[in-house]
Structures are given as structure tokens and as C-alpha cells.
Amino acid sequence: MDLSELTLDREGLAAAIACEDAAFEAALREEAYRVKLAAVGPEVYLRGLIEVSNICAKNCLYCGIRRDIRCQRYELSQEEVLATAQVAADLRFGSVVIQGGERSDKAFIRKITRLVRAIKSIDTGDDPPLGITLSLGEQSRDVYEEWFDAGAHRYLLRIESSNPDLYRRIHPDNHSYDRRLQALYHLKEIGYQAGTGAMIGLPFQTAEDMADDLLFYKRFDAPMIGMGPYNPHPDTPLTLSAAPYPSTVRRFALGLKMIALLRLLMPDINIAAATALEVLDPHGREKGLLSGANVIMPNITPREQMVKYNLYDRKTLNASDVEDLKEAGIVIGYGRWGDSRHFGHGRS
């Protein structure tokens, strides 16, 4: 396939996703990088990722911290989270992501509300207060509203797959695609920048499914997307079912290609170079940025807990990786929220 033949409709996207020609894939990534520079500029925004707890009420069939997996559980204390957010402020990251397993007990909800307020009052010197993204799963509209009122302004909730049938195959019966979608619309109505995303290279997933994921992001008009390759975790039902999935090399190439295609489809949104890319290639994140991504989320969770937040087999990442990016000539947007231009707040 030649780049000049690419069309951004379902058929064209699926053909591009299915095409394994290395020259085509490289040309596509280069084109996406050019489009990114023209639409959002060279700057990369940082989000300090804090994994507050690996306790989860859900049981997703692919996830290494699913409810039924035996692993050591942890929950950071209020003080630990705040100290970690202070690290993000001191490093001038501009924003933090508070990520954790899904829980809807009152104590947890209130704790997050208090945390968001406290993070908002962290001293950031001459920079604006830290931007806060939450990634804490499906919650009721009221809870989303409570956290928004406390000061969170972005929320990440992946659709995981936009195909309801595939969603059903990778989740237990009591999980619901419709509920997930409803939650995404609630977030949007409340005024969050609602980010979503899907896994790439899942068992049973077709090129058309992946094309539909991209078109779903466009239809939802998402200001930010975080998607990444599926990485099998050895003790999960999806891995144990022995359902086939693409090779490591293919999943990595697909991960980059999806970023590139999305950049062409939605030139001015924020696209994260997901941690899952790094697991498949030591330079995964840089390659993600060179394929059209403009956000990275260095993990600043205290190391002792970070190793327990084991969604899939991965090496641990940390803030010092950011220095490597600078050496690679990547421009870092220090001390800025880095909101998506697409959202139209005009903030920086």
C-alpha cells in the first residue's frame, strides 16, 4: 500500500491497519509527525502518573490487578500521594494523573475528593496549580461531579474496545459496555476533558475493529486519547484461554500505527505515548512521540508500590526517563497543564 492511497474512512483505515509493509508504516509515521508539528507544535506534555491503589472491584479478563487475581494489594496514604504530587510540582510536570483500581465505597470516594482539593493547593512556585486527571474507572454521575467540583478537570476512561461484542469477550458478564459508554457521556456533560482509548492487538480483534476504535474517538470528539498495545499478563483468564493474538513485533508496530492514524484523523488532540509501548520496545515512548503522540506519563508512584501495580508484565519507569527524552531532542512543556487545543479552553 502507498501512502497516497490512504483514505480516512473505515475501509481505508482498516486497509492501513492490515498492511504490514514496513516502508508504508514508516511513511505513515513520518506523515503523522509532520501533521503533529503543524497542528500542536513540538512540545510534549508531562503527566506525573500516581498509582494510588491496586485494589479493584472489577474483574477484566486481561488485567493483572483484577479482583480475582492473588497479588499483594496496597493503597497509598493521603500523605504519600501528596508527597508524590509535590515531586511532580518540584519537577515542574504541570499535571498529575491519579490512577487506581475501580472502587465505589464511600471512604474511597471521599478520600479522592479530599486529595484533589489538597493537590490543588500544593505550592508550584510561579507555575499554575497542578492540573489533575483522574483515572478511577466507572463511577456514578454524582461522584464524577463531586470530584470535578473539587478541582479535577480531566478524566481517563478507556472504552477498551468500541466493539460491544469484543468488549463482552474480554470482560466478565457483569461488566457492561453500555454502562461504560454512559459514564463517558456523563464525564463529558459535567465538563471534564474526557479521554478514552482502547487496547491494540487483543485476541479476537480485527483490523476493522481497530478502525472502528479510531472512528469512535472521532465521533465521541475526544480531546485526548491514551491507547496502547495489549500486553498479556500470564495469570489472567484471557492469556490462559490461549486465544491467539499478534506477535510482540506486530503489536508494537500496530501501537505506533494507531497513534499515527489517529493523528491524521484528529490533528489537534492530545495523544499519549502509553506505557504499554515501552514494554515492547526500550525506546517505545520516543517512537510513540515520533509517530504523532504528544503526551507522556512518567510514573512517579513510590517504587515499592509501583512494582505491585502490575497490570501486565512491564519494567518500571520513572521520572529520570524524561531526561533521556530531552537528550533525544524532544521539547518538554514544563510547568504547563498542556490541555488539548481541541477542547477550546485556550489554557496552557
Interface residues with ligand SF4 (CB under 6 A) are 56, 58, 60, 63, 65-66, 101-102, 137
Q: Cα–Cα distance between 260 and 34 in angstroms, integer?
A: 10
**Closest CA relative to residue 191, chosen from 162, 151, 218, 163:** 151
312 binds, options ligand SF4, ligand 5AD, none, Cβ within 5 to 8 A by partner type: ligand 5AD
Q: Which is nearer to ligand 5AD, 120 or 308 (CB)?
A: 308
Q: Which does 251 bind (CB under 5 to 8 A by kind): ligand SF4, ligand 5AD, none?
A: none
Burial class (CB in 10 A: 0-12, 13-18, 19+), 235: middle
Nearest-angstrom CA–CA distance, 114 and 106: 12
Shortest reach from residue 170's CB to ligand SF4, in Å: 10
Residue 23 Cα distances to 29, 150, 283, angstroms: 10, 49, 20
Which of the residues 273 through 332 are near ligand 5AD (CB under 6 A)? 276, 311-312
Cell of 7: 483514505
- In the list ligand SF4, ligand 5AD, none, the entry touching 92 (Cβ below 5 to 8 angstroms by class) is none
**Which residue in 99, 92, 175 sits closest to 133, CA to CA?**
99
For ligand SF4, give the closer residue by CB, 51 or 286.
51
Question: Which residue among 103, 233, 287, 342 contacts ligand 5AD (CB under 6 A)?
Answer: 233
- What whole-number distance in Å separates Cα of residue 136 and Cα of residue 220? 20
Q: How far is the CB of 247 from ligand SF4 (least distance, A)?
A: 23
Q: How far is the CB of 210 from ligand 5AD (least distance, A)?
A: 14
**Contacting ligand 5AD within 131-150 (CB under 6 A):** none
- What minimum distance in Å lies between the beta carbon of 101 and ligand SF4? 4
Residue 217 exposed, middle or buried by CB count within 10 Å (0-12, 13-18, 19+):
buried
Work out what residue 199 binds among ligand 5AD, ligand SF4, none; the CB cut-off runs from 5 to 8 Å by kind. Answer: ligand 5AD
